[in-house]
Structure 1
Amino acid sequence: MDVDDERRGLLDEDLTGLVSEQDAYLSKVKNRNLYLATFASVLGPMSFGFVLGYSSPALPELMHIADPRLQLNNIQASWFGSIVTVGAAVGGLLGGWMVEKIGRKLSLMFCSLPFVFGFTVIIAAQNVWMLYIGRALTGLASGITSLVVPLYISEMAHERVRGTLGSCVQLMVVLGIMGVYLAGLFLDWRWLAICSSIPPTLLMVCMCFMPETPRFLLSQGKRQEAVEALRFLRGPDAPVEWECARIEDACDERGSNFQVSDLKDPGVYKPLMIGIMLMVFQQMTGINAIMFYAENIFEQAHFKESDLASVIVGLIQVIFTAIAALIMDKAGRKILLIISGVAMVISTTAFGVYFYLMSSGASLDLLLMDAAGEKPHTDLAWLALASMAIFIAGFALGWGPIPWLVMSEIFPVKVRGFSSAICVLTNWSMAFLITKTFQDMMNLLTSAGTFWLFACMCIVNVVFTMVFIPETKGKTLEQIEAIFRGAAGP
């Protein structure tokens, strides 16, 4: 017993020494170049946001355009919106291969090409198929971006700012969406495509001056280049050899080549299952359904300017995603996911109530008739508006940015490309599935039943978060990996 106590004491001393050594190192770090590299990389998610938002202002024009070769019917318009998710699912798989073969930086630079080519095809479109091809290409680029950028940032950033910088991915996506909504108020669909090609062009140029991530360089045996990258990212005063040695030890211990047998390792399959479930649950919150109904809800609330309503929705997303980014490294990932999940449970339940009352409006009015037999005015639009605002704010606070952030943190370096590709494929496949089957769900379960199903899924989200997701705030990527390898599990 005395020996065990002594061992525990030595372990505590080692941990205390490591923490104090870590604090001493981080106190000498300058973040200026790290912020610069992050800004360059998040031009990718901004481009991705322009792709997602493009269909909203462009579709009404394309459905009523004078040129019969380009005019979209309802089915074609549905494919114009959803084919992006198909391209993105393929892009996720391609991105997983690219980050391992050519690295994070080059993958990010190359993904700007399908963005620009895709928008160029849309600008030059002479028929519907050219529109589809352009959307599929921009979707492919979006899938690569959604995998590469979180990895690039998490491998560059240190633990004190990794949460904030990682949350900038989702922040730039919603800024891109709001930007294209605003531009759509003034530009037609071709000029909007030209405008949308500017961020990926800047991405290609800016990334030329940024370094590859130190962890990837070390996994490739390029130690000197890794030290130089760390020196650029941490500033001239930080003793980067200490951080380099720490990362190198982890790389040496785990090995650098992924094999299928690695999937038996709890340090691999536990984070992989958590990453997959995070992506499934993110889509099962009903975010696509809410956005699908946004325009109708604003119209029912007598808000005739639906374009302006879209900008308001985008603004709510931006504000609360920015709040999440600011508090991520203080509050932690887990508590924000729980708060976000609870907010969405409340809002989707209220949405269900709204649609239930709307569908049974006639019987409700009969019950509420006064003695004179006059029907009262029952305007429930406020309930829908409040539910939508709470849902979008809740989603932006947690389940929007955090699954992508956690995905970039929890995988060991040797399986990071493969595991991230599986997660991105899962996310975009679920997005496509829910988008295409949403109307069938509405017909089968009714509007109220569909939203109550989403409420149940949000409850499951909260329970899953509380039981299975470890807190990664303030931990290095190597410490997070050790959590999953521990006997106690996640």
Structure 2
Amino acid sequence: MEIHNERRRLLDSEGDGLPTGLMSGQVAYLSKVKNTKLYLATFASVLGPMSFGFVLGYSSPAIPELMRTSDSRLQLDAVQASWFGSIVTLGAAAGGLLGGWMVEKIGRKLSLMFCSLPYVLGFTIIIAAQNVWMLHIGRVLTGLASGVTSLVVPLYISEMAHEKVRGALGSCVQLMVVLGIMGVYLAGLFLDWRWLAICSSIPPTLLMVCMCFMPETPRFLLSQGKRREAEEALRFLRGPDAPVAWECARIEEACEEQGSRFQMSDLKDPGVFKPLMIGIMLMIFQQMTGINAIMFYAENIFEQAHFKESDLASVIVGLIQVVFTGVAALIMDKAGRKVLLIISGVAMALSTTAFGVYFYLMSKLHSATTPGEEPHTDLTWLALASMAFFISGFALGWGPIPWLIMSEVFPVKVRGFASAVCVLTNWTMAFLITKIFQEMMNVLTSAGTFWLFASMCALNIIFTIVFIPETKGKTLEQIEATFRGTSGP
């Protein structure tokens, strides 16, 4: 009782130079915060998503080379190439489950450090590969690490960052993923697949080293009853002038309101059930845009589109993705999550429709062409423009925001479990889409496949308008309170 009263005094009084009341106290507190070390901790953690980007992008330059290699032990046929591209998502789905357990048992920081091990081991196995099975095992291990990363890093950043910069820093997760993808596309122009794997093992090695010097998140420490360590972590992240006891008291009160550890019966609570459903649907819709299928097979798509410099086209696509994800990070805390999701959905719906039109027109040109004669490729610009517009739209909203919202909406006690369910959903959908993408192109035709993606983009616009809450400018505790139907601490 005495501790509770002291906490209320910190929240309500003018102690530590903060004015009376939560909102005015919040503004005054943030005015004393210095973000330098918060940015440093964010940079260290997003080396994980950069590693994840290298894994995602690796298959695009590696598959054509491995299919053409003169070494029969390593040569991929069409089926093996499909598995090489998609099996990483199975590893990532398992990594999502493993990550959900790890963040609760050993914390966010140690989970992030340990996930660098399967990255390095996986790429080492690929480098030393003597047969196709070794290539696949390496991809599964790097996928496992990617799944852990995709869960842990958004949680780590959202629990460290304050509400003023949480959107921008959370968007850096996707920014570093696309930087990794572009980096591996660019390196693929100059390096063979083995040297590419060597380069891909550098970011996870740096991740392990840099995270040694970063703190655990204050919210996890408080959930473990480690108040002194939580205050030290906050002091590191907020600077020496910020009265961190005030923020610590605010977080601690929210943790106490939630009660004990997560139990399955908690799923009946609207404060758990509603954000979990939103998180799951966000992940399903993100994959149903077709993004991972398009990124995994970027070079193949451009070859089918008769774009002669398909590897260069992939680099251009990667560059566009980096630029627009950077734009999203800059405007996230001003424009808000919901508006960007709607703009993103509209852009993707239009671009995938246009891509479908391109493939439809090209099929007509092929059928009208004399056998052995090359069809006119005057419409090649449409393929590149459609891809660029799609990537721009995805990078603005549906790329970074589902991961950001996942890290914002769950109460602390269910964050590990709920995030694991969302990551498992995302990567299971990614596997299904990437594995059957080529079959979809054969059965539905290329045009029909992209029109299916367009219809999914239209559905995600409706879902966003009806169900997604705006979270910009709110503390994690206030967001949780919104779903519980109470006022936040």
Inter-partner Cα distance in structure 1 for 2:85 and 2:246: 49
For 1:85, the equivalent position in structure 2 comes to: 89
Q: Match of 1:129, as an amino acid?
A: W
Segment drifting more, 57-66 vs 240-249: 57-66
- Unpaired runs of 5+ residues, structure 1, are 1-14, 366-375
1:336-347 matched pairs, under 5 angstroms: 336-347=340-351
Match of 1:359 among 358, 363, 388: 363
Supply the AA of the counterpart residue of 1:418: F
Per the alignment, do residues 188 and 245 of structure 1 end up closer, same or farther by CA in structure 2, a change over 3 Å counting? Answer: same
Q: What is the CA deviation profile of residues 97-156 of structure 1, one whole-angstrom value per residue up to 9, with x for unaligned ones? A: 000000000000000000011111111111111111111100000000000000000000
Gaps in structure 2 of 5+ consecutive residues: 1-18, 370-374
- With structure 2 as the length reference, what TM-score do the two structures score? 0.91
Distance 1:442 1:70, change over 3 A: closer
Per the TM alignment, residue 382 of structure 1 is displaced from its structure 2 partner at its CA by 2.3
1:486 aligns with 2:485: yes
What residue number does 1:417 align with?
Answer: 416
Instruction: Give the deviation of 1:446 after TM superposition.
Output: 2.6
Task: Name the amino acid aligned to 2:255.
Answer: C
Task: Give the secondary-structure state (helix, strand or coil) at the position aligned to 2:473.
Answer: coil
Aligned match for 1:275, one of 276, 279, 287: 279
> Aligned to 1:466, what secondary structure does the other structure show?
helix
Moved more, 43-52 or 175-184: 175-184
Alpha carbons of 1:118 and 1:292: their partners in 2 closer, same or farther (altered >3 Å)?
closer
User: 1:164 Cα deviation (Å)?
Assistant: 0.3
| Shift in CA distance, 291/206, structure 1 to aligned 2, threshold 3 Å | closer
Q: Confirm or deny: 8 A CA contact 1:219 1:256 kept in the other structure.
A: no
SS of alignment partner, residue 76 of structure 2 = coil
Cα distance in 1 for residues equivalent to 2:127 and 2:301: 32
TM-score when normalising by structure 1 = 0.91
CA distance in structure 1 between the partners assigned to 2:295 and 2:418 by the alignment: 29
Q: 2:240 aligns with which of 220, 236, 247?
A: 236
Task: Report the alpha carbon displacement of residue 438 of structure 1 after superposing the two structures with TM.
Answer: 2.0
Q: Which residue is 1:156 aligned to?
A: 160
Helix, strand or coil at the partner of 1:97: helix
Q: Is the 1:412–1:481 Cα contact (8 Å) retained in structure 2?
A: yes
Write out aligned runs for 1:55-134 (5 A).
Answer: 55-134=59-138
1:449-471: CA deviation from partner (whole Å, max 9, x where unpaired): 22222111111101110110000
1:243-282 equivalence runs, <5 A: 243-282=247-286
> 1:56-82: per-residue Cα shift (whole Å, max 9, x none)?
222222222222222222211111111
- For residues 441 and 377 of structure 1, the distance between their equivalents in structure 2, rounded to whole angstroms, comes to 25
AA aligned to 1:481 is E
Q: What amino acid does structure 2 have at the position aligned with 1:462? A: I
Superposition pairs of residues 275-424 of structure 1, within 5 angstroms: 275-291=279-295, 294-295=298-299, 298-299=302-303, 303-361=307-365, 379-424=378-423
1:445-460 to 2 correspondences below 5 Å: 445-460=444-459
**Deviations for 1:333-363, whole angstroms, at most 9, x for unmatched residues?**
0000000000011111112222222223378
Amino acid at match of 1:247: I
| % identical equivalent positions | 86
User: Alpha-carbon deviation of 1:379?
Assistant: 2.3
CA distance 1:117–1:299, shift in 2 (3 Å): closer
Cα gap change, 1:359 to 1:100, in 2 (>3 Å): same
Opposite residue 415 of structure 1, the aligned amino acid is V
Q: Would you say 1:203 and 2:232 are equivalent positions?
A: no
Cα contact 2:60–2:298 (8 A) shared by 1: no
Contact 2:345-2:460 at 8 Å conserved across structures: yes
- Quote the residue 1:8 is aligned against: none
User: In structure 1, what residue type is equivalent to 2:199?
Assistant: C
What is the rounded CA distance, in whole Å, between the counterparts of 1:435 and 1:55 in structure 2? 12
Amino acid at match of 2:208: M
Figure out how many residues of one structure are paired with residues of the other and give that number.
Answer: 465
| Coordinate RMSD, CA, aligned | 2.0
TM-superposed CA distance for 1:304, in Å, is 2.6
* Conservation of the 8 A alpha-carbon contact between 1:38 and 1:153: yes
